[in-house]
Chains A and B, each alone.
Chain A
Amino acid sequence: MRSLKLRLFAALLLATSFVWLAAVAWIYVSSRRELEHVLDTRLQEAARMVASLASGLDRTAAAGSEGTLPPLGSYERQLSCQIWSLDGRMIARSSGAPAAQLSQDAPGFSDRQIDGERWRVFTVEDGSRGVRVMVGDRVGLRERLVSDLIKGLMWPALLIAPLLGGAIWACLGQGLRPLRRMARDLASRNAEDMSPVSLARAPAEVRPLADALNTLFRRVEAARRHEREVTAFAAHELRTPLSGLKTQAQVALATEDPQVVRGALQQIVAAVDRTARLVRQLLTIARLDADPEQAPRTPVAVGPLLAEIVADIPKSDHVRVTIEPSARDLVLDTNAECLQLALRNLHENAAQHTIGGNIVWRATADGLLVEDEGRGIPPDEIDKVGTRFFRGRHRSHAGSGLGLAIVKIALSKVGAQLLIGNRLDRTGVRSYVMFRK
């Protein structure tokens, strides 16, 4: 059953009915026992009473002189009485009492079948008076008494049952109102609304749900904010170079001055180069993103790879690049292309930010690191470094904000990790590529 309310309703109704039926059974059994006891006692008393009266009876009187008892409503003629002489003649019987002897047993209680009817009989013998008094009850009547009693209890209960069901249903509705209210609140929200669900009015049972929802809202909101930020960075990084291109082109078109035209055209060439690099990096990211699989690994000699990268990337004349022997001799079980992408972008970063000084590549027990002597990363920006299109305060003009993002993705494909931070010994950045063992 899908509905909580229906489920609770059915459970409550079943439980109530069960308890109620059990109570009826209990009442049936115990009233029946009680009734038997009372009726037996009555039989006994009646028999004794008749026996004590029987002293004045004519012991020779024939059948037919029996006295009549007044009617007893629906339980009319419940009791029947016979008086027998000890030698086996019927002295008297009550009206409606069977002609056959009610009991042939010894004095006391006995059950007997007479004319297809069951009787409960109590017999008293009075030796001094020479009579045997038998008082009997029809067992069928007794049963009817019990069943009438139970029916008397059942009918009102059956009438009350629908009322009880209605009451349970209403109580459930009332009890589930906080849930419905929360559902209504959530349903009426617009898609942008990520404000937390109010916990103030939530009952204890609903609170874990509300808490979980609020946690989810916070996560979605954070993800959305991150996405918005990335979109904003991307828009800026893509549209600004276009803007520069257009403005320079319009300047070239608008002026007659050959020097201004030349200057503008040179700027256009530079802008196209930069945009081309941006496009290349975007395509690299798209390619890395498209394939979520881990890259296949082979042993890769880091030394020659680094040497090639260092030779390839332009740097200012005051920068000295050192590849320490530990890095030169390092052989890693990794993917050559991913490693090349990561190391190339890291080296490019270091070269762009170091105007004068050393760039050092070194291997450690579980990774490879590069240290530059640039200005470092402002502490509040460390967390954002590597976000796509994010360019910090210490940006270089050539950057696009994609380099470290590429490093991160490329490394993740070979099960490695980038740890980037400021150097402790001096200003500069320390980029640490950690390979998992």
Chain B
Amino acid sequence: MRILVVEDDPILADGLRAGLALKGSATDVVATCEDAEAALSTTRYAAVVLDIMLPDGSGVDLLRRLRRKRDTTPVLLLTARDAIEDKVGGLDAGADDYLAKPFDLDELAARLRAITRRESGRAESQFEHGNITLHPVDLSVTVEGHAVTLSRREFALLSALMERPSQVRSRAELEDVLYGWQEEVESNALEVHIHHLRNKIGRDAIETLRGLGYRMRAVR
């Protein structure tokens, strides 16, 4: 899951990057409305964590502009105020959820999972495909009921593929999911992760479509 954090406080932004990485997400951090709009126009994010009070304007205004452009990326607002009218204003402007500062990292992660789940039209919190079950809550995967230990990247890769199992995900798309901007990507890194993943969940679970990308093999 790739997430955009729009927050101008460097310490909080750094904490969100580190914290969301622990929860299995790749995170990009920007500090202004302007940078956020630029990032959103070039990259597809699973969700946006948006601070309301930004140096170059209001996060709520940014959200309104986004929704006017028919961008439906799920947005979670971070507010310093917890007055009802602030919450109502934010939700009416098109936010999917809000959290008042200071918040709990686990709660933030759970709410992000919830709004991305709603966005993809699922009700249940886990993904199932054949004999593989993926639990985003505790980052665990079971194959035929047995727990499998995956690295953070492997988990992110598997959840990207299992979100829409019948769909082919391109190489670039998958790299986007795995890495934020600041991270260096080695040319064969994706192949290495796929290789490890196949070793852990079964050789046939993921199929390669040459020149197109990867997808989950259809369940017979």
Contacts and interface: CB of A to CB of B under 8 A. Distances in A.
B19 A243 contact: no
Interface in B1-21: 8-12, 14-16, 18-19
Interface string B48-62: 000111011000000
A358 B121 CA distance: 58
Nearest to A249: B15
B101 A264 contact: no
B134 to A, nearest CB: 20
A271 B22 contact: no
A52 B15 CA distance: 138
Contact of B105 (A237, A247, A260, A392): A247
Residue among A267, A270, A394 having the largest count of chain B Cβ atoms under 10 Å: A267
Contacts of A244: 9, 11-12, 14-15
B53 A232 contact: yes
A330 B28 CA distance: 52
B12 to A, nearest CB: 4
Nearest to A232: B81
Contacts of A247: 12, 15-16, 19, 102-103, 105
A267 B13 CA distance: 11
Contact of A250 (B8, B10, B51, B104): B104
B81 A392 contact: no
Contacts of B173: none
B71 interface: no
A258 to B, nearest CB: 13
B80 A235 contact: yes
B105 A254 contact: yes
Task: Give the interface size class of chain B.
Answer: 20 to 34
Contacts of B119: none
A243 B9 CA distance: 10
B11 A271 contact: yes
A172 B61 CA distance: 54
A397 interface: yes
B72 to A, nearest CB: 27
Contacts of B55: 391-395
Chain A interface mostly: helix
B51 to A, nearest CB: 8
Contacts of A241: 9, 11-12
Interface string A227-242: 0000111011111111
B101 A240 contact: yes
A239 B18 contact: no
A245 B102 contact: yes
Contacts of B92: none
Chain A interface residue bracket vs B: 20 to 34
B175 interface: no
Interface in A324-350: none
A32 to B, nearest CB: 82
Interface string A255-292: 10000100110010011001000000000000000000
B105 A264 contact: no
A243 B53 contact: no
A41 B103 CA distance: 114
A248 interface: yes
Given A236-B80, A239-B80, A244-B9, A251 B102 contact: no
Nearest to A274: B11
Contacts of A238: 80
Interface string A143-167: 0000000000000000000000000
B53 A250 contact: no
Given A236-B80, A247-B16, A254-B22, A397 B10 contact: yes
A243 B14 CA distance: 11
Contacts of B78: 243
B106 interface: yes
B81 A248 contact: no
B56 A393 contact: yes
A246 interface: yes
Contacts of B81: 231-232, 235-236
Given A244-B14, A247-B103, 16 more contacts: A233-B53, A237-B80, A240-B9, A240-B101, A242-B102, A243-B12, A244-B11, A246-B104, A247-B12, A250-B105, A251-B15, A260-B18, A267-B11, A267-B14, A271-B11, A395-B55
Closest 3 CB pairs of A and B: A247-B15, A244-B12, A244-B11
